[in-house]
Chains A and B, each alone.
Chain A
Amino acid sequence: MQLAATIRGTKYRFDSIKEVLAKANPPKSGDDQAGISARDPVERVAARAVLAELTLHDLRENPVVPYELDELTRLVEDTLHADAYQAIRSLTVGQFREWLLETSTTGPLIRSISRGLTPEMAAAASKLMSNMDLMIVGAKCEVVVRANNTLGLPGRLSARLQPNHPTDNVEGILFSTREGLSYGCGDAVIGVNPATESAESTAEILRALNGVTTRNNIPTQNCVLSHVTVQMDALRLGDVPMDLMFQSFSGSEKGNRAFGISVALMDEAYAMMSELRSSHGPNFMYFETGQGSALSSDAHHGADQVTLEARCYGFARRYKPFLVNTVVGFIGPEYLEDGAQITRAALEDHFMGKLLGLPMGCDACFTYHSAMGQNELECLKVLLGAAGCSYLMSLPVGDDIMLNYQSTSFHDIPSVRGLVQRRPTPEFDAWLHEMGIMDGLKPGPRFGDPGVIR
């Protein structure tokens, strides 16, 4: 296969499709750190020109990590939907981008071929797209999922309530929870990142959260984001109200090994939740991802961080999750240097996740050593709202006092919903109305009053 393009008389050659994918990427400090990015903007465009001419079949035949070496590659290859793949296999990546953008290509139409796409195809399309292209297609995709409420319907924007506490003080967690609910947050999940990785502590927090949602009849889900093995141990304790089970994913088998997981382990966890979950619906898993996680454990196999991120979604879709979100700015400036890179990555991840059929949310965030400011982060939240992102996070003033980074605030959720005219899940919307917290898109009489929650 000839992998070369000429720009202004200079011929650019590439040795592999993996190299083309990497060099076609918009600038990312993580790709620079890995030494795989384009050496200049012209080479980057040359790589995109080559990529645009490759077919989706070429991409299926050339996964960035070989079939023999990696169980995620095998999982995707062995479970790819044959008819869906047949429908799109001969399109070039350039044609695929255009097909996605056509007005006649509706969300349901995209959904119909989604199972025939490999992660490499989704990543490749993103590399030929501008930020607004990514938003247009992302907004078209419709992924509806059900647990205790229904997430992802058109015109909806949900929020995870994230009441973290540095010592897992349950009272402290509940104070943050009640305040967040009074701002209309928490319809995606009330999810705590625990400081302590123990089954007992996970169970204790779940019981406390369940107390709040039961007492107040709140149609939502609870989750404690400890390691999946800890959550399985918590389930074994018996009578633990676990609505969603959580795990972080990486884009290669080696990366997942560093996270202490494998396909077999996740299959076991999924089977356990099928039996023992407390939520009512077909979707009950929750996954987090983020560009750069594979490189940070030296598990990137020379592939770029966008393609590896897409491979997390290829893994995630096996488990029909209720929630998937990228934690886009959390990893730090050595992977995403500044506001432009974090914004770009957020829109890429949302697009790729939705294209691969996932209910994609985003933790729009930065660490304090990244070159991103508050205004840029607020802009990103509005962009994500306009792009049809399924959910954002929410914390008091956006400040995570446990993990020490800046995310979305309780106040941001009703603000973005108002700006882009989106409401919470219908069930939660009705509850907010009944409580007097929201009156449609407007704050109700008890808005911001945590005293309304028992």
Chain B
Amino acid sequence: MRTYFPNLTVLALVVLVVGCDQSGSSDGDADNNGKPVVYATNYPLAYFAERIAGDTAAVRFPEIDGDPAFWRPSDAQVADMQGADLILTNGATYEKWAKTVSLPPKKTVDTSVSFASALIEIKDATTHSHGSEGEHSHAGTAFTTWMDFDQARQQAIAVRDALVKAMPDDKETLNANADALLADLAKLHEDMRSVTTAIGDRPLVASHPVYQYFARQYKLKIESVLWEPETVPTEADVADLKRILKDHPAAWMIWEGEPASESVGLLKGIGVESVIVDPAGNRPDQGDWLSVMKRNIDNLRAVAGRSSN
């Protein structure tokens, strides 16, 4: 009889731990242990905040099915944001929903405000749809700001400053963590510059218009179509691409994610190879933002290698 007691105690502890873990993993009900709550509207900002805040704050990034740029928060999610201590937004018209929801300005930080004058305006954006996300448009300004790693650095600094302002007692920890992140971003910037210099002015084509800042910073010649990795392009899409290729003879198409094998085959048929440069706007299935960016650089080395040959 006595031998059952320890087993029951262990079982109770396991149930308690599992229960706690499950409650902690839910989006809205996470146990913050009294830590300040920081809400981020895309994954790069959430990653920067997690790196800089470390254990000093609970960083929340909602589980979004699809691209966070075309997400719209529910009432409960907006209420969650209102209750947070800090809301990190990307700015640059990334949060198209911001005009129709009520965020507290006191807690909301636009991380791209320091380079607002350098934002790229999108003209004549076409409304389109893909998958179950419904129609969307890329009108406004280009919003994949962090793909220029110098701009990513400025956004990380904005995150650091906002965190320091919100948690002045943790200033030293935050600054130390931020320095480590900024060093990683500087290394990424250098590596990207090195590989894109090797690519030079060889034309490239992007499957989606999300590489404007990337192209500007690293002096790449990129034209865009409106293709999606999981969708096989139609004949009309291929015809549009061929029209672009006449004046812009690209040998590589940059994809946001792993393209369908049929798409890769179609492209190969017209002499275009595929390479993935994932902006990682949403949380990746594996790794983190930094590892995805390193993988992007590795992927581009293939383009550079082919270019230099």
Do these two chains interact?
Answer: no
Footprint of B on A, CB under 8 Å? none
Footprint of A on B, CB under 8 Å? none
